[in-house]
Chains A and B, each alone.
Chain A
Amino acid sequence: MARTAERKDVVIIGLGWTGSILGMELANEGLEILALERGEDRNTVPDFKYPEVIDELKYAIRMGFMQKPRNSTLTIRRSLEETALPYRQLGSFLPGNGVGGAGIHWNGLNWRPMENEFRLRSYVEERFGAQIIPEDMTIQDWGVTYDELETHMDRFEYVAGISGQAGNINGRIIEGGNPFEAPRARDFPMPPLPNTYDSTLFREAASAMGYHPFTRPAANASQAYTNEYGMSLGPCNYCGFCERFGCLNYSKSSPQVCILDALKRKPNFQYRTHCDVLRIEKATDGLTSTGVTYFDEMANEEVFQPADLVIVAAYSLHNVHLLLLSQIGTPYDPVTGTGVVGKNYSYQMNGGTTLFFRDRFFNPFIGTGSNGVSIDDFAISQIDFAREGFIGGSYISSGTANGRPIAGFAMPSDTPKWGAGWKQGIGDWYGHSMSIGAHGSNMSYRDVYLDLDPTYTDRYGRALMRMTFNWKPNDIRMTQFMKSRIEEIATSMSPDLMQSSYKSDGAQYDVRPYQTTHNVGGAIMGADRNTSVLNRYLQSWDMHNVFVMGASAFPQNTQYNPTGAVGGLAYWAADAIRRDYLPNPRPLV
């Protein structure tokens, strides 16, 4: 029998970026707030301090800061016919947990989606005709526009402290920025970071071909900075330990560095760690939630936490799992196409070309997570989908984030995989290659979705979530298009050798190698309750006091890393809750 805790105005599930943002914004309304975090507490000191955190084995290989599959995982299959098997060991994607969530161990690539990505189906239909959308492709509009989100994405960029160069301020194109980006009201809060050798070579080559290179926006501080909450960042020292690590230097934007210490000082905010939310509870009328039931690992007891407002702010996959377990909203059925929870899961389509230069020194350990130069000349808005035969796009970049050796580094494909030849190869090639990569969109499909697994359960006996996902011809055509463009640029740079790695026809999803943690969808936002889980304010269509943050809201993946949009959506939802919902709690649409 669960113990009933003292009532709160707000309970927040998960204390990463979005939980911290909602915590701060709602604490400023004077509400009594409790955040429940399933993982451990984390602070820059001692958890990320030098030199202990510079430990590739512990954090990058053994995944010290990640979700432990033993505690929480899912099952994966590649088609409706296959039997899903558990994702037992982390590989393809790395869900975060612990205070700060994935916001501590990201690389810091902070982008805004393009204007027409927010209304992708409408854009494609208006521009190219509905007939070019494959029958089983289920792309949708977000129900919110770029213009509506601009001020909120801007706010996130100023809270996080992004280093970059604007390319389009109120329609004025600015040299050195991304000329294809949507208009922004003002420049980034900090100037761009310096470029490493590889990205400088790429910039020169791309420029010479008539493309428009720019230093990509980075949540790695280029100078000292203090944000609106009084939180300070220091300049990044290019230590090369961003992704999979917490920042030792107060330089990479994280909830810890940008929000949490200020939030923790508020008397009306509390958080509890090692508290795993088991389900969101429904009122007897089924129209609202009464709070959440969680398991407190330290006290070894189940606790019911009553609350007037439930903010679901865990990792995207976990958000969807909680909705499914709590039976909030109708689960999606891929056969009939009805139901919504779990619908439109999508991933990301990436690929790259490696260039080898025997006599050049790239010092690959000198890097920052989002280091590099990009071009957006093949962005989703720059491609004639009807002519090319796919829907989607990629940004293309060069820039080294790290030179960690255990993870492995590029060697020519004819290098022996072990033995004397391998040892010779690592001596010959470490630090003598660079790469150009495509980071691309991934569309959503009728038979790519999330539901509950019929066989496997977690440590509480709850069904694991089941992911059904595989690569589709549309997205493979997109990445092959990027390959042809990247190889042209790479060839112009006259490397001694080059080799490419892109998905090709018939590629099957492989859960083993790391690809990206940009898992999106499953609790998508939209304008119609029959085709989305959340309305345009991230409010559940089914329970008006439940709001769901995060990339689970994306109806398909954009061509960018999701955090900029996730942060913007969190401020957008927080604004709607503060201005409109709290004075009169009800469905906002």
Chain B
Amino acid sequence: MTDLPGRPSRRSFLKGSAVTATLAGLSLPTKAQPAPEPVPLDQVEREYLEPAEWAFVMAACARLIPSEGEGPGAIECRVPVFIDRQLAGDFGAAADWYMAGPHNAAADPLLGWQTPLTPAEIYRQAIPVVDGWCRDNHGAVFAELDAQTQDSVLTALEGGDLPLAPEIRGFFTLIWQNTREGYFADPMYGGNHGMQAWVYIGFPGARGSYLEWVNKHNVEYPLGPVSISGERA
């Protein structure tokens, strides 16, 4: 079925009419209502992160995928909400992973996850260390620094230049991975609000049917994304 944006096909018009006719007596809307405005990020009821941690995650996400320039930033996409929910769930608890000891957190990184800590515990232990380092070196916690200084801290964190114990040395990799996940995952997980990240790069989300497009070469696919819950953008 083709339903180019702004150009409803005859088929979708007919389908829409049929729906209208069927549902008229039930006085149900025939088109999806615009999604209600979500709770502002500073009022979100959090599942895992404490206030100082939330402030850190908000600030770090805002620098990892900033709002400036083309495309949405992590804040517009509500990535911190995604991270909070993930840390409260199975991922945060490393529920699927082999976590039995003995542990050698200082092992060659090529041997993979060897810390005894879960992802949620790494956030909890690493954030105060990074904030403390920022206070010692820049006079304020991470969230209160200017953007340029925050970028320099993140660069140092990424490069292993902050004094992190082996158990939490993977913190940058973890928060950057989670930030990208929250940016690009289906909106039902709390991030990618309004599917903005998908719209920005041109990923159609859960459309899942392209047979008639295989042979159209070097032509930009025209349809916007849909989400698993049926949201369109």
| Chain A residues in the interface with B (C-beta under 8 A) | 50-52, 54-57, 61-63, 68-70, 73, 76, 83, 85-89, 91, 193-197, 200, 235-241, 248, 360-361, 363, 365-366, 403, 405-406, 408, 417-420, 422-424, 426-427, 430-431, 455-457, 508-512
In the complex, chain B residues 185-233 whose Cβ is within 8 Å of any chain A Cβ: 185-186, 189, 197-198, 200-211, 213-215, 217-221, 226, 228, 230
**Residue B1 at the chain A interface, CB threshold 8 Å:** no
B185:A418 contact, CB within 8 angstroms: no
B206:A54 contact, CB within 8 angstroms: yes
Interface size class of B (residues with CB under 8 A): 35 or more
A85:B98 contact, CB within 8 angstroms: no
B203:A405 contact, CB within 8 angstroms: yes
B210:A405 contact, CB within 8 angstroms: no
The residue from B96, B189, B213 contacting A68, defined by CB atoms under 8 A apart: B96
Give the chain A neighbours of B204 by CB distance below 8 A.
365
Q: Which interface residue of A408, A419, A430 has the most chain B CB atoms within 10 A?
A: A419
Q: Known A88-B114, A418-B64, A423-B73; judge A239-B209 contact (CB<8 A).
A: yes
**Residue B29 at the chain A interface, CB threshold 8 Å:** no
**Residue B104 at the chain A interface, CB threshold 8 Å:** yes
User: What are 8 A-to-B residue pairs whose CB atoms are below 8 Å?
Assistant: A68-B97, A197-B217, A361-B219, A419-B66, A424-B70, A431-B220, A508-B108, A512-B109
Q: Mark B82-109, 1 if CB is under 8 A from A, else 0.
A: 0000000011001111111010100111
B210:A55 contact, CB within 8 angstroms: no
A248:B203 contact, CB within 8 angstroms: no
B185:A56 contact, CB within 8 angstroms: yes
Q: Mark B56-87, 1 if CB is under 8 A from A, else 0.
A: 00000001111011110100000000000000
Q: Known A418-B176, A419-B151; judge A406-B184 contact (CB<8 A).
A: yes
Q: Known A63-B96, A196-B214; judge A237-B69 contact (CB<8 A).
A: no
A536 shortest CB reach to chain B, Å? 36
A235:B211 contact, CB within 8 angstroms: yes
Give the chain A neighbours of B64 by CB distance below 8 A.
418-419
Residue of B nearest to A193 (CB): B214
**Residue B111 at the chain A interface, CB threshold 8 Å:** yes
Q: Known A68-B96, A70-B99; judge A405-B220 contact (CB<8 A).
A: no
A237:B208 contact, CB within 8 angstroms: yes
B96:A52 contact, CB within 8 angstroms: no
The residue from B69, B98, B208, B219 contacting A51, defined by CB atoms under 8 A apart: B208
Q: Known A73-B98, A88-B98, A88-B112; judge A431-B208 contact (CB<8 A).
A: no
A427 shortest CB reach to chain B, Å? 5
| Chain B residues in the interface with A (C-beta under 8 A) | 63-66, 68-71, 73, 90-91, 94-100, 102, 104, 107-114, 151, 154, 158, 176, 179-181, 184-186, 189, 197-198, 200-211, 213-215, 217-221, 226, 228, 230
B202:A238 contact, CB within 8 angstroms: no
Q: Which interface residue of B104, B109, B209, B214 has the most chain A CB atoms within 10 A?
A: B214
A363 and B221 alpha carbons, distance in the complex (Å): 6
B220:A363 contact, CB within 8 angstroms: yes
Residue of B nearest to A67 (CB): B96
A216 shortest CB reach to chain B, Å? 15
A408 and B206 alpha carbons, distance in the complex (Å): 17
Give the chain B neighbours of A406 by CB distance below 8 A.
180-181, 184-185
Knowing that A54-B205, A239-B208, A406-B184 are A-B contacts, what are 20 other residue pairs whose CB atoms are under 8 Å apart, sorted by A's residue number? A56-B184, A62-B90, A69-B96, A85-B112, A86-B100, A88-B99, A238-B210, A361-B218, A361-B219, A363-B213, A405-B197, A419-B65, A419-B154, A422-B65, A424-B70, A424-B71, A508-B110, A509-B110, A512-B109, A512-B110
A511 and B112 alpha carbons, distance in the complex (Å): 6
Q: Known A51-B208, A69-B97, A361-B220; judge A87-B112 contact (CB<8 A).
A: yes
B206 shortest CB reach to chain A, Å? 4
B152 shortest CB reach to chain A, Å? 11
A105 shortest CB reach to chain B, Å? 15
A424:B69 contact, CB within 8 angstroms: yes
A76:B184 contact, CB within 8 angstroms: no
Q: Known A89-B113, A194-B215, A423-B71; judge A239-B100 contact (CB<8 A).
A: no
A65 shortest CB reach to chain B, Å? 12
B175 shortest CB reach to chain A, Å? 10
A162 shortest CB reach to chain B, Å? 18
A557 shortest CB reach to chain B, Å? 21
B214:A194 contact, CB within 8 angstroms: yes
B157 shortest CB reach to chain A, Å? 11
Q: Known A88-B112, A361-B219, A417-B158; judge A52-B228 contact (CB<8 A).
A: yes
A360 and B219 alpha carbons, distance in the complex (Å): 8
B97:A238 contact, CB within 8 angstroms: no
A232 shortest CB reach to chain B, Å? 18
Give the chain A neighbours of B99 by CB distance below 8 A.
70, 88
Q: Known A57-B181, A68-B96, A87-B98; judge A237-B71 contact (CB<8 A).
A: no
The residue from B65, B69, B95, B206 contacting A418, defined by CB atoms under 8 A apart: B65
B214:A89 contact, CB within 8 angstroms: no
A508 and B100 alpha carbons, distance in the complex (Å): 25
Residue of B nearest to A201 (CB): B217
A76 and B201 alpha carbons, distance in the complex (Å): 38
Give the chain B neighbours of A50 by CB distance below 8 A.
206, 208
Report the 9 A-B pairs with minimum CB-CB distance, sorted nearest first: A430-B201, A197-B217, A69-B98, A239-B208, A57-B185, A54-B206, A405-B184, A366-B210, A89-B113
A54 shortest CB reach to chain B, Å? 4
A68 and B109 alpha carbons, distance in the complex (Å): 21
A218 and B204 alpha carbons, distance in the complex (Å): 24
Give the chain A neighbours of B102 by CB distance below 8 A.
455
A88:B97 contact, CB within 8 angstroms: yes
Give the chain B neighbours of A69 by CB distance below 8 A.
96-98
A86 and B112 alpha carbons, distance in the complex (Å): 9
B110:A510 contact, CB within 8 angstroms: yes
B118 shortest CB reach to chain A, Å? 11
Give the chain B neighbours of A239 by CB distance below 8 A.
207-210
Give the chain B neighbours of A63 by CB distance below 8 A.
96
Give the chain B neighbours of A418 by CB distance below 8 A.
64-65, 154, 158, 176, 179
A430 and B181 alpha carbons, distance in the complex (Å): 16
Give the chain A neighbours of B200 by CB distance below 8 A.
426-427
B70:A238 contact, CB within 8 angstroms: no
A365:B210 contact, CB within 8 angstroms: yes
A456 and B111 alpha carbons, distance in the complex (Å): 15
Q: Known A417-B158, A418-B176; judge A365-B185 contact (CB<8 A).
A: no
Give the chain B neighbours of A360 by CB distance below 8 A.
218
B214:A420 contact, CB within 8 angstroms: no
Give the chain B neighbours of A55 by CB distance below 8 A.
186, 206, 228
Residue of B nearest to A62 (CB): B91
Give the chain A neighbours of B65 by CB distance below 8 A.
418-419, 422-423
Give the chain A neighbours of B185 by CB distance below 8 A.
56-57, 61, 406
A54:B217 contact, CB within 8 angstroms: no
Give the chain B neighbours of A70 by CB distance below 8 A.
95-99
Q: Which interface residue of A88, A237, A417, A509 has the most chain B CB atoms within 10 A?
A: A88
Give the chain A neighbours of B228 by CB distance below 8 A.
51-52, 54-55
